[in-house]
Amino acid sequence: MINFQCPKCNEPLSVPTSVAGELETCPSCKCEIQVPSVERASTSDCDGVGKATAPAATIASRVDPSTGTSQIPVPLPCQSGPSGSHAIVGAGRRTISPIKIGEVLGETWRLYRSKPIALTLTLIIPCLLLAGLSALGILGDQVLRHLNVQKGSPAEGLAGIVLSVPILVLLTLAFTGPTVSALNLARGNSSTVLADLRRGLRYTLSFWMALVGVAWWIGLSGVLLFIPSPCVTARLSQVFPEIVDRDIIYFRWPFFACGETSYRLTKGNTFTLVLLQLFALAMVIVAAIPFGIGLVVVLPYLHILGAVIYVHLTNREPGTKVSRC
C-alpha cells in the first residue's frame, strides 16, 4: 500500500501500489489527485499509524523545463464521478496544524501591505454600486408617489422585488469578491480586481445557501446542545473559503460538504480561532466608530486574515501558488 496525503485537503490516504502514478479521486474533497510513485512514497515518510509526516516528500514531483527545478503537482479540477476500479481510502487521522496567532497576524499584515489598493477596490466597488442602486430605489419610490401608486399595491410590490434582487447580489459580492481576492493573494496567484469580482458573482447563491446552513447549525447547537456559539462559529469558519476553493456554484448544496471539511480542518484550533474572531470583532467595532470609515481598511485586512488561516489549516505555505479546485 502507498500512504500519502491529499495535496488539496491534507487527508491521509492509502492506495494499492498497482495504481502508483495514476489519477484517483480523493474521498474527502472529491478532487482528482495524482498518486505518488512507489519510489517517492517510501514507508519512511509515515509513522506507525499511517500518518504522513512529510506529505510534500511523498508526492511525485515534476520538473519545470524553464527553471530545471522540481515542483509538487497540484490538484486537478474536481470530478463528481468515481475514481476508477481502485478505491482510494483514508490512511489515518489528519495531522493537526496548530495556529500561531503571531505568525498568522504577521503574515496577514505583510500580505495586506503588498496589495492594499486592489483589496480595497474589491470591497468599495460593490458598496458604491449598492449605494447607487439604493439612490435609484429612492428615486423610483418618489416616481411611484408622483404617479399616485398606492402604498402596498401590486405595482409597488413588484418594484420592490425587482430592486431587492440586485441589492442582495451586491451585498453578497461585497463579501465574496474580497474573499476571492484574499485567497489569490494568500496563494501567490496573480489576479485583477475585475476578475475577482466576476468570479465572486459565481458564488452568490452558494453563499446564501451556506449562510442558512451555518445559521441553522449555530442555532441548533446553542438551543439543543448548549454549545457556545463562538465555538460553533469557529468550527464552521472555513465553510466560505471552501466554497471559493472548491468552486461550488449555483445548484449545488454547499454547506454539508464544506461544513464537514471545515470541522475537520479546525480540529484542535477552536480556542485559537475564537480568540482571532474576538480580535476581528474588536477591530470592526473600533473601525466603525469614526462613521465607519475605518471599515474600508479593516474589512480587507480581515478577509486576508481568513485566507491566511485557511491556507495554514490546509498545510500550505502562504504565498505558494496552487491551482484552485
Start-to-end Cα distance in the chain = 26
Q: Which residue, among 257, 251, 272, 270, has the nearest Cα to 325 in the 3D structure?
A: 257
Residue 243 scores a pLDDT above 60: yes
- 16 Rama sector, left if φ>0, alpha if ψ -120 to 50, beta otherwise: beta
Write out pLDDT tens, residues 253-291. 667 778 888 888 888 899 999 999 999 999 999 998 887
- Inside any domain, residue 38: yes
- Domain identity same for 82 and 209: no
Distance CA 25, CA 38 (A): 18
Write out pLDDT tens, residues 189-232. 888 899 999 999 888 888 888 888 888 888 777 776 666 778 88
Domain count, the chain: 2
- Domain identity same for 175 and 41: no
Task: Quote the Cα angle for 307-284-107, to 5°.
Answer: 35
Reduced to 3 states (helix: H, G, I; strand: E, B; else coil), residue 13 is strand
Bridge partners of residue 33, in order along the sequence? 24
- Domain identity same for 241 and 227: yes
- Domain identity same for 158 and 261: yes
- Domain identity same for 54 and 106: no
pTM above 0.85, yes or no: no
- Domain identity same for 3 and 113: no
